[in-house]
A and B are shown apart, each in its own frame.
Chain A
Amino acid sequence: DAGVIQSPRHEVTEMGQEVTLRCKPISGHDYLFWYRQTMMRGLELLIYFNNNVPIDDSGMPEDRFSAKMPNASFSTLKIQPSEPRDSAVYFCASGPLNTEAFFGQGTRLTVV
């Protein structure tokens, strides 16, 4: 298995633009997580899904952020409109029930 695949690896965009981050979880994993990592705040859980259903989105910072999982093999995290303070590394992770999470390589987002 290729592991959790995220795209793009790097994204530079202008303030106000829409940004879409993509994630392909490991096949057969029931859970999918989106995290954000910054120097100031560390690793923050934004949202997680179980069997494609959002379970807890309390970590989503504001309405500009949205996440979808239309099927078991694909998820997106969208920021619209983007702001400079959204600059961070965004990680997607997947895992089977009650075991460890497997992380992707992350997307480094820079909003200028």
Chain B
Amino acid sequence: GNSVTQMEGPVTLSEEAFLTINCTYTATGYPSLFWYVQYPGEGLQLLLKATKADDKGSNKGFEATYRKETTSFHLEKGSVQVSDSAVYFCALSDGLMGGQNFVFGPGTRLSVLP
């Protein structure tokens, strides 16, 4: 079945540090890939997405590239801010058979220190 694996953290960085959160997936077919962010006390918000191989999703300085050959969708940001402190979820949607079943990774908690 489909699955998503991501580094569970927590990840603690200083402000302006470089961020990488690894995500790999297992799926049949050609899933769409997503990164969601959850700020404290809130629901999940879509951060970025990619729908086919070699697509790069980007938003708010974050980016991730859909790598089919390595089945990966790593999240990166060149310079993190304190306001980026949140939990980040990698997810996929297979959309096969007319159905839609989002599979989420366990989430990675990021803390950015001033």
Contacts and interface: CB of A to CB of B under 8 A. Distances in A.
Contacts of B42: 105-106
Contacts, number: 54
Interface string A81-111: 0000000000101010111111111100000
B102 A98 contact: no
B43 interface: yes
Interface of A: 4, 31, 33, 42-43, 45, 48, 50, 55-56, 91, 93, 95, 97-106
A3 B16 CA distance: 33
Nearest to B31: A98
A106 B104 contact: no
A48 B49 contact: no
Given A98-B95, A100-B34, A105-B43, A33 B107 contact: no
Contact of A103 (B43, B49, B101, B106): B43
Interface of B: 32, 34, 36, 42-46, 49, 89, 93, 95, 98-102, 104, 106-107
B2 to A, nearest CB: 11
A106 B44 CA distance: 9
Contact of A55 (B36, B45, B99, B104): B99
Contacts of A31: 100
B101 A95 contact: no
Nearest to A56: B101
The 4 closest A-B pairs by CB, nearest first: A103-B43, A98-B95, A103-B44, A42-B106
Contact of B101 (A45, A100, A104): A45
A87 B89 CA distance: 22
Contact of B46 (A42, A55, A91, A102): A102
B46 A100 contact: yes
Nearest to B48: A100
A50 B98 CA distance: 9
17 contacts: A42-B104, A43-B89, A43-B107, A50-B98, A50-B99, A50-B100, A91-B44, A93-B102, A95-B100, A97-B98, A98-B100, A100-B49, A101-B46, A101-B102, A102-B46, A105-B42, A106-B43
